[in-house]
Amino acid sequence: MHNILNRANALLAFTLWVMAAVTAACFLSTVFLDYTVPTKLTVKDIKVRTIADYATDEQQADLATLSFNLNVDFTKVFNWNVKQLFVYLVAEYNSDNNAVNQVVLWDRIVERANRVVMDEVNVKPKYYFLDDGSNLLKHQNVTFVIRYNVIPNAGYLRLVQSTDQISVPFPTTYTTSRRS
């Protein structure tokens, strides 16, 4: 009746159809879930230094140093369709040159097998908080917020922003010491 190639083709087509149906069910079962979790973020020890900036036409740039504490429990976020989270801290502020400045200061990948409760104390940023001018000094409203990408097994990459964000004023004078 049917040769071996016809039977293998039918088996492969049926297997692919079942896999597509299971993948669609995986996505549809988690698409309407709420992935927001409460976070507790505190920022402290903010210092602003001026450095020479040779990349732009301005002669100086502001470099901010700080430390932060982060407490968040991602247990609720992980379900059978979540592979990992990409968590990052963003500082947002406005300046005369740009309506919105966003600087990523710190990031971490949280996998299912790792600890999903983060209790970080006195963390220094991984990346420089550098402004392309002198806009950080005396700035009254720099907002810090935790954001994270939910990386699924099937479906779309979801961007979630924490509902808890803090706004802090920056110092009014430059720090002159080399240590910060």
For residue 179, the model assigns a pLDDT of 59
- 79: domain CATH number? 2.60.40
Residues 40 and 115 in one domain: yes
Average pLDDT of 9-23? 94
Q: Is residue 176 in some structural domain?
A: no
19 and 94 co-located in one domain: no
pLDDT level of residue 95 (50, 70, 90 thresholds): confident
pLDDT of residue 114 exceeding 90? no
What is the pTM for the complete model shown? 0.85
Selected residue with higher pLDDT from 26 and 17: 17
Answer yes or no: do 65 and 96 share one domain.
yes
pLDDT tens digits, 131-176: 888 888 888 999 999 999 999 998 889 999 998 899 999 998 888 7
Residue 119 three-state SS: strand
Does residue 173 lie within any of the structural domains?
Answer: no
In a domain, 100, yes or no: yes
Please provide the average confidence, as pLDDT, over all residues in the chain. 89
Q: Is 2 in the same domain as 56? A: no
Expressed as residue numbers, the domain containing 26 is 1-32
CA–CA distance, 48 with 104 (Å, rounded to integer): 17
Report the candidate in 139, 62, 148 with the shortest Cα–Cα distance to residue 111.
148
State yes or no: pLDDT of 180 exceeds 50: no
> Is residue 12 domain-shared with residue 68, that is, in the same domain?
no
Please indicate, yes or no, if residue 20 is contained in any of the structural domains.
yes
User: Mean pLDDT throughout 55-72?
Assistant: 85
pLDDT of residue 132: 81
CA angle 150, 154, 156 (to 5 degrees): 55
Q: What is the pLDDT of residue 56?
A: 65
Please give the helix or strand (H or E) that residue 159 lies within, else none.
strand 158-168
User: Among 93-97, 123-127, 150-154, which is the least confidently predicted range?
Assistant: 93-97
Same domain, 17 and 55: no
In a domain, 175, yes or no: no
Whether 18 is in a domain gets the answer yes
If asked whether residues 13 and 57 sit together in one domain, one would say no
Tell whether 134 and 52 lie within a shared domain.
Answer: yes
Dist. CA 161–CA 154, nearest whole Å: 21
Residue 160's nearest CA partner among 83, 91, 103, 86 is: 86
Tally of domains within the chain: 2
Q: Decide if 177 is inside a domain.
A: no
Max intra-chain CA distance, the chain: 88
| pLDDT number for residue 14 | 96
* Same structural domain, 110 and 127: yes
| Domain identity same for 87 and 25 | no
Residue 140 to residue 158: CA distance in whole angstroms: 31
Please report the pLDDT score of residue 54 as a whole number: 75
22 and 59 both lie in a single domain: no
Residue 178 has pLDDT above 70, yes or no: no
Closest CA to 90 of 126, 119, 61: 126
52 vs 25, which has greater pLDDT?
25
- 44 & 28 share domain: no
What band does 112 get if pLDDT is binned at 50, 70 and 90? Answer: confident
178 domain-assigned: no
